Amino acid sequence: EGLLRLMEGQADRRCGFVACVGYADSHGDVRTFEEPRPYFGTMRSSRTSRPEGASVGGAWGPEGRGLFEIFVPDDANAAGLALAEMSQEQLNQYRRGRNSAFKAFADWWREHHA
């Protein structure tokens, strides 16, 4: 609800964000892994009423689910759909097509801990 409130009355609803993963080992060494391409898209003016993919966003916590219900990514092949409106197959395809921060972490882990 906070993002929707901040965007009230705004004609330009374009937005973007960078996803990242943080890792700290037992020695206190910290590493961060960012996606090479930020997410860009548009924020809806209200939450979707079709939350097919919202459960995936829920893995990010309550705020993540809300983001999935209002964020329409530019680079998805499901034109005009918020993440929560995508079928599980569409959402999986979209996520596999991106070089995620989790993939960067997994690649680093395999290289340094295999």
Which pLDDT value is given to residue 52? Answer: 57
Which pLDDT value is given to residue 108? Answer: 94
State phi, psi for 73 to the nearest 5 degrees: -75, 145
At 27, is the pLDDT very low, low, confident or very high (cuts 50, 70, 90)?
A: very high
For the stretch 56-104, pLDDT in tens is 555 555 555 677 788 888 888 767 888 888 888 888 888 888 888 988 9
At 34, is the pLDDT very low, low, confident or very high (cuts 50, 70, 90)?
A: very high
Token pair in block for residue 33: 């892994």
CATH of 2-113, one of 3.30.70.1400, 3.30.70.20, 1.10.287.180, 3.90.950.10: 3.90.950.10
* C-alpha to C-alpha distance for 106 and 52, rounded to whole angstroms: 28
pTM over 0.85: no
